[in-house]
Structure 1
Amino acid sequence: MPALADTFISALHRLESDRDTDTIASLFADDASLSNPLVSYDDGGVDAAKTFWSHYRDAFDEIASEFRAVTQTEGVAFLEWRSRGSIDGEAFDYGGVSVLEEADGKIAAFRTYFDSAQIPRAHSTGGEGSGRSGKPEIAVTGKKNGEDDLETAQREAAEQRAKGGYS
């Protein structure tokens, strides 16, 4: 697992700097699951990983993550991180923890935990190089009133927080 955690961190940095989704997606098993507080892909494998990481990167104008601690046990790695960047020119700084579960040298499950209220919501489709300009390169499912899955999840999380709880 040490090599896989290090490889994941390196691939994430490539995704953040160069928008390289192929490298990070290739680390996932064919039946891998991925989730964060806003979206979840169960047993989607490499295709789901590519969609998950494309959505992640396209949400930001700029983003860079640093890892404060990596703790590993047999088949599981816990990564504490902090990400900084901008969305529509508004700076953000948020932190969280990600869990990687390994099976046969691949990531079988990826879960990440953070407070979504710490991230500003995008107000435009983004500018040149933001990844949010023009039409999305990936199919967006679950549209509701013109919202994509991430927008719906963000709205629902905000409504839940307004009621005094979290989704």
Structure 2
Amino acid sequence: MDTLTQTFMQALQSAEQTRDPAPLVALFSEQATLRNLTTQTWEGVNGAAAFWEAYLNTFASIRSEFSHHADDGRTGVMEWEAKGQLAGGHDLTYRGVSVIEHDGQKVSAFRTYYDSAAFVRPETV
């Protein structure tokens, strides 16, 4: 039987492929919080929908590959590398770690930490 972390990883890859975040959003509770490297916090199922729609809209294409994951029944940790193309057409590869807190059925907290420098294009001289 898959852990919620494994289900989450599969739902994320599906959302990236289909551009439909609905199955991923369905994993979040009404009390969920989502955070990335910005200072903003998204809350609830509507917040999860807004978070994942914004994520997908950042890219023309994206694919996350998971190199390691662990789940103790309450917390899931995922190491990943994502490759794709930004909405503006520039190729991108970046790595990070995401953490979920859950009750085995629903995600109550999502936090992700990644190499934000990968999103900055150096100026050409």
TM-score (norm 1): 0.67
Aligned 8 A contact 1:33 1:109 in 2: yes
Deviating beyond 4 angstroms after TM superposition, the runs of 4 or more aligned structure 1 residues are none
Alignment of 1:79-90 (within 5 A): 79-87=78-86, 88-90=88-90
Q: Do structure 1's residue 61 and structure 2's residue 60 form an aligned pair? A: yes
Q: Do structure 1's residue 9 and structure 2's residue 9 form an aligned pair? A: yes
Aligned 8 A contact 1:4 1:105 in 2: yes
Aligned 8 A contact 2:30 2:45 in 1: yes
Paired position in structure 1 for 2:21: 21
Change (3 A) 1:39 1:83: farther
The Cα shift of 1:40 comes to 3.1
Paired position in structure 2 for 1:130: none
Aligned 8 A contact 1:2 1:72 in 2: no
How far apart are the structure 1 equivalents of 2:71 and 2:16?
24
Structure with higher strand content: 2
TM-score (norm 2): 0.88
* Unmatched 5+ stretches in structure 2: none
Q: Do structure 1's residue 106 and structure 2's residue 109 form an aligned pair? A: no
The Cα shift of 1:74 comes to 3.7
Q: CA RMSD in A?
A: 1.7
The percentage of counterpart residues that share the same residue type is 38
Secondary structure at 2:3's aligned position in 1? helix
Amino acid at match of 2:111: R
The Cα shift of 1:120 comes to 4.2
* Unmatched 5+ stretches in structure 1: 122-167
